[in-house]
Chains A and B, each alone.
Chain A
Amino acid sequence: MKWICLLARLVLVAVPLLSYVCSAFAQSYPNKPIRCIVPYPPGGVVDFHARIIGQKLSESWGQQVVIDNRGGAGATLGTALAAKAAPDGYTFLVVSPSHAINATLYKKLTFNTEKDFAPVTQLTSAPLILVVHSSVPAKSTKELIALAKSKPGQLNYASSGSGTSTHLAAVLFTTMAGVDIVHIPYKGGGPATADLLAGHVQMNFAGITLLSHIKSGKLRALGVTTAKRSMAIPDLPTIAESGLPGYEVDAWYGAYFPAETPREIVSKLNKEIVKILHMADVKAHFASQGAEIVGNTPEEFAVFTKAEIDKWAKVVKDSGARVD
């Protein structure tokens, strides 16, 4: 009985003390350079997000944010590294929807996508656009579905790799529309775009960077994958409104800390990033890539992450893609 009392007293003293230490820690944070892990090689969209945010963070906090590109194994290598980093606020991770997809796609991950990360905030949301080569007669999503139904197994879609968001967006499309279109995987978005431009494949779900080819008339955009129209191309209808109700794919970019990172630090980074996201030049930078800023709370982002993992789990199963 006596030791229980002692323990209780200890806890009573320790908890406020601990929280005091924590808040002191949070106040002095950051006092050394911060590492931002990007689980992709430099040059891609995730890298772009990390560098824009990192640059502004360095300026406002006076501590260098070092971008650490750890590409490989479909982003799982860098993500694993972040999961195992010390939860002291000096390492954070920037990812894309692959983060949620990989949770189901990979049979043996060395980390748990839900439990090993403390969500900080969703940075942006961007649509994918459904594009077809100009030789394809379909002018809308509805016509494309009709065309695919009349020619089962004859059309092809390109993707930037098996199990990537561009692949799974198409899987979701074909299963929801009940059509048979053949998947042609490429190693990355570049070669997929090249073959689409040349007309070797007929369609593709791609980032908004293809806009210039749409303007030049080589490709035709049929719809955006998001629930709402994109500010970058307001004339383009959503896929849901133009032939496939209920269809929604969001290319999102978000930041995570390792789990166990003190809550004060999570909210400090959250507030700073949200502030950065609302700066006019940052907004414009993201808008130039078709991305719209989000900047939600850690709690909202946690709910969002969970929903994304569940959503993709089903699509991954439908696609038959699997990595072990």
Chain B
Amino acid sequence: MTDIFNNLSLGFSVALTMMNLFYALVGALLGTLIGVLPGIGPLATIAMLLPFTFNLPAVSALIMLAGIYYGAQYGGSTTSILVNLPGEAASVITCLDGYAMARQGRAGPALAVSALGSFFAGCSATVLIALFAPPLSELALQFSAVEYFSLMALGLVAAVVLAHGSLLKAIAMVFLGLFLGLVGADVNSGLLRFTFGIYELSDGIGVVVIAMGLFGFSEIINNLERRETRVVLHAKVQKWMPSRDDFRASWKAVLRGTTLGSFLGILPGGGAMISSFASYTLEKRLAVDPSRFGKGAIEGVAGPESANNAGAQTSFIPLLTLGIPPNAVMALMLGAMMIQGIAPGPQVMVERPELFWGVIASMWVGNLMLVVLNLPLIGIWIHLLSVPYRLLYPAILMFCCIGVYSLNHMALDVALTAVFGLLGYVFIRLDCEPAPLLLGFILGPLMEENLRRALLLSRGDPTVFFARPISLGMILLSGLLLLLIIIPAARRKREEVYRKE
């Protein structure tokens, strides 16, 4: 235990130097800014800033880059809540209830709760990293393809819960998402599927492309129809402090979201991405009145926002302890470490303790800066909405296009976003919700990859999924969840039939 205190005090002595405080602030500010700009994500920003870090000491460089990463998680929720534009996959879920709250004039509380929830999650996850990083990474390694597959299966069943309308439509959307996820090179053979000779499609369709099209673009098209209600977000949004009821409703969601996100973030197979979805599903399941979800339930903002921030924080664990980057941004951080001449891996903690603990301590400092920065900014963001629609939305569209282009420098991505925007509009007219589609799209490829890997490793024996306890548990849980969904639906159907007779 004294070790931890020694380590942390070493960390803070590094993080609290004037220079490192400055770089943490720069990172947090930049991160918030690019998080708010739709589409321009941390990946493009860190890539652009990488040359600048050459001449910085390694600790300062990593502190700044990490700040950009978790700053973007804070900022990303802002546009989701205000204009239904998810900056990245993790903030898609925030659109569902955040935007609904904004339309009711409660953008302020939504933003405040998401900032406070993120702060709590960030701090807790930092403590978790400081105390348990090495054993947690060991635990995460025990997750093999078998467990990943079962986790994804559970997630997919849960996807249906995301919808608040028709069950059949939700299932249809999940499947559509799964099919879209098939596009691209097959992992095992390398053969191209559904790319129609377009090489740009060989790595599949981007998540941001689909998310921005289905949520943001379609909402903009849809808004053009509602001439009168378009300026829903008027003067009454001035009050931004959440009420006592809001706090009461959200604190448990924040706790659960943090726990869920912290755990999923550790998994090197991209678990952080699904943590916000998982948290939303959990909150909706546990709610006394699930029908409020999708219509401005504050738990639906608090839970997922905390989960994605906790996940973002703990996804540093595999990078720092094993040298394995769990996502593209972490891969870039690994690149930054390489350029600094640091070989990432288990020895970093021993050979460069000032680096390891300095970065961890700076996460806490950075989170504090972010919440101090973000709470007063809420007032400014809300005022942004009083900019006339005819000026605000073309500007947003332009930023979206720049953002989507900056992902892979492909014009095709921008065109695809537009196509998905139109498709999203059709979905709105048909009352089909895009969230289950997106989850299907994210989980589908992961599920396929792990299913096939598990079967390759077991030489085609499907019983492996039931032989391993964690996997068996998750499969049973998904079966149970499926029953919980089907039984009430079936009962309703039967009642309808009786009534007709």
Contact = CB atoms under 8 A, between A and B. Distances in A.
Contacts of A212: 323, 343, 345-347
Contact of A187 (B324, B343, B449, B459): B449
A42 B457 contact: no
B200 A73 contact: yes
A194 B325 CA distance: 10
Given A197-B141, A198-B141, A209 B322 contact: no
Contact of A216 (B192, B324, B331, B346): B346
Contact of B335 (A47, A71, A213): A47
Interface stretch (A116-124, A264-272, A316-324): A316-324
A194 B318 contact: yes
A51 B51 contact: yes
B243 interface: no
Contacts of B142: 198
Interface stretch (A20-28, A137-145, A238-246, A284-292): A284-292
B409 A70 contact: yes
Contacts of B388: none
Interface in B440-471: 449, 453, 456-457, 459
A125 interface: no
Most B CB within 10 A of own CB, among A55, A156, A187: A187
Contacts of A48: 335, 338-339
Interface string B313-352: 0000010001111101001111100110101111100000
Interface in A264-313: 284-285, 288-289
Contact of A72 (B202, B322, B449): B202
B144 interface: yes
B335 A72 contact: no
Given A323-B191, A324-B191, A43 B341 contact: no
Most B CB within 10 A of own CB, among A43, A184, A193: A43
Interface string A193-221: 11101101100000001111101100000
Given A43-B331, A72-B203, A77-B199, A51 B326 contact: no
B314 to A, nearest CB: 15
A161 B191 CA distance: 12
Contact of A190 (B144, B145, B268): B268
A209 B342 CA distance: 10
A185 B189 CA distance: 9
B51 to A, nearest CB: 7
Interface string A50-64: 011011000000000
A213 B408 CA distance: 33
A42 B144 contact: no
Nearest to B410: A72
A289 B50 contact: no
Contacts of A321: 189-190
B54 interface: yes
B408 A190 contact: no
Interface in A32-57: 41-45, 47-48, 51-52, 54-55
B255 interface: no
A215 B50 contact: no
Contacts of A80: 199
B51 A55 contact: yes
Given A185-B188, A322-B190, A323-B190, A213 B457 contact: no
Interface in B397-416: 408-410
Interface string A178-193: 0000101111001101
B203 A289 contact: no
B185 interface: yes
A127 interface: no
B346 A161 contact: no
B269 interface: yes
A83 interface: no
Interface residues of A, number: 58
A43 B457 contact: no
A129 interface: no
A47 B333 CA distance: 12
A261 interface: no
Given A187-B449, A289-B343, A44 B331 contact: yes
Contact of A77 (B200, B334, B343): B200
Contact of A182 (B199, B269, B335, B456): B456
Contacts of A323: 185, 190-192
B335 A44 contact: yes
A213 B345 contact: yes
A210 B347 CA distance: 11
Nearest to A68: B409
Given A41-B331, A69-B47, A324-B191, A200 B346 contact: no
Interface in A124-169: 153, 156, 161-163
A321 B459 CA distance: 20
A48 B336 CA distance: 9
B343 A209 contact: yes
Interface in A50-100: 51-52, 54-55, 67-74, 76-77, 80
A321 B187 CA distance: 11
A162 B47 CA distance: 27
Contacts of A69: 47, 409
B196 to A, nearest CB: 13
Contacts of A161: 187, 190
Contact of B47 (A42, A191, A216, A322): A42
B325 to A, nearest CB: 5
Interface string B169-201: 000000000000000010111111000000110
Closest 4 CB pairs of A and B: A212-B345, A43-B335, A162-B190, A43-B331
Interface of B: 43, 46-47, 50-51, 54, 141-142, 144-145, 185, 187-192, 199-200, 202-203, 268-269, 318, 322-326, 328, 331-335, 338-339, 341, 343-347, 408-410, 449, 453, 456-457, 459
Given A73-B202, A321-B190, 8 more contacts: A48-B338, A48-B339, A51-B51, A74-B185, A74-B202, A186-B453, A212-B323, A323-B192
12 contacts: A55-B54, A68-B409, A71-B203, A73-B202, A77-B199, A190-B324, A193-B323, A193-B324, A197-B141, A209-B344, A288-B338, A324-B192
